[in-house]
Amino acid sequence: MRGSWALLLMILLAGCGSTVKQDGDSSGAGSNPNAGRYSLEHDKAPLDRVDVSKVPDAVPRLEPKSLAGNRSPYKVLGQTYHILDSVQGFKEQGTASWYGRKFHGYETSNGEVYDMFSMTAAHKSLPLPSYVRVTNLDNGRQVVVRVNDRGPFHAGRVIDLSYAAATRLDMLGKGTARVSLDVLDPRATLARTPPLPAGQQATPGPGRYLQLGAFSDRSAIERVERRLGQLSSGLNLRVSPVTQQGRTLYRVQLGPVPDSETEARLMRELADAGYTKARPVDLP
């Protein structure tokens, strides 16, 4: 099911394991606004070969729950589902499937537009949006996706991945994969230095930088540079690779920051630019 009105029937195709959907009522009001998608009987990969190997993982950030897609309970095909109140420590294992061209450009359950080239996914009970690390248990590959849709409503399947995410996990050939899911808490990356006692002011040293985040793909760094624009004028954009649990992440750091006043200003400007998890770090 995608959006407010899609019920799905999952099948495996030779060389393509995406889903087949049928019209249905999943929210209880109105007619199906996306019925045009059903002119394509079977879901498929893009018409032209697209290299999505460099599409970066979704980066967890604090977001309010979507106005749409979080009604609980809700019913599909006679089955009632409940949205989780808390996802702290949530883990799950099962079968992942994927969906692509048939739903590309149509609304997801939370009202966004599905982009099969982005790192997104559908889940039956996680709040929208949520961030999940998906591990292919057959080959160890991992991706981080942003859950913004509902599904898959097929026995034994725990998550429906975008075409890009499925490609990164190397599961297109078979169409499904055994996976484990780990929900990521954006607050874990929002650690800040403790406040100073009244009347005291920290003076950043020559190695004081602001860490914007950690990315799994170096191509994301170019997008960071373009997004920062004049904000980074006169400062260095430092890339520091680190290996964690067998995967390499690239920490992006801006600096050196000359003084506390500049640091406070940059922190506000970075937050306004969307880098809400930026934090100061002292580098050797």
Tens digit of pLDDT for each residue in 34-88?
443 333 345 555 656 777 877 888 888 778 888 899 999 999 988 999 999 999 8
Which of 62-71, 205-214, 263-272 shows the lowest mean pLDDT across its residues? 205-214
Residue 28 lies in a domain: yes
pLDDT grade for 188, boundaries at 50, 70 and 90:
low
Boundary residue ending a domain (186, 221, 254): 186
Which of 146 and 246 is assigned the larger pLDDT? Answer: 146
- Per-residue model confidence (pLDDT) at position 253: 85
Q: Which of 186, 218, 241 is the last residue of a domain?
A: 186
Cα distances from 162 to residues 57, 104, 167, 223, 243, in angstroms, run 12, 9, 9, 21, 26
Q: Give the domain range for residue 124.
A: 6-186
- Which residue did the predictor score with more confidence, 17 or 239? 239
Q: Which segment of 28-32, 130-134, 207-211, 214-218 scores lowest on mean pLDDT?
A: 28-32
Are 174 and 221 in the same domain? no
CATH of the domain at 73: 2.40.40.10
Q: Which of 158, 186, 214 is the last residue of a domain?
A: 186
Looking at the chain, how many residues does it have? 284
Q: Is residue 196 part of a domain?
A: no
Residues 6+ apart with CB under 8 A from 177: 95, 96, 136, 137, 138, 166, 169, 171
Residues 57 and 143 in one domain: yes
d(CA 81, CA 71): 10
Same domain, yes or no: 137 and 231: no
The answer to whether residue 252 is domain-embedded is yes
Read off the tokens for 221. Answer: 């760094």
Given a cut of 80, whether residue 145 has pLDDT beyond it is yes
- Whether residues 24 and 156 fall in one domain: yes
**82-107 mean pLDDT:** 87
Q: Which residue did the predictor score with more confidence, 92 or 50?
A: 92
The whole-number pLDDT of residue 44 equals 57
Number of separate domains in the chain: 2
The mean-pLDDT minimum among 6-20, 31-45, 140-154, 253-267 falls in 6-20
Tokens of 71: 């009604």
One domain, residues 95 and 142? yes
Both 177 and 209 in a single domain? no
Sign of CA dihedral 272, 229, 66, 127: negative
Same domain, yes or no: 30 and 57: yes
- Could you tell me the CA-to-CA distances from 212 to 88, 130, 169, 221 in Å, in that order? 24, 20, 26, 10
What's the pLDDT score for residue 46? Answer: 62
Higher per-residue confidence, 82 vs 194: 82
* pLDDT score of 94: 96
Q: Is the pLDDT of residue 209 over 60?
A: yes
Using one digit for the tens of pLDDT, what is the confidence trace for 109-137? 988 888 888 899 999 999 999 999 999 99
Tell whether the model's pLDDT for residue 218 goes beyond 80: no
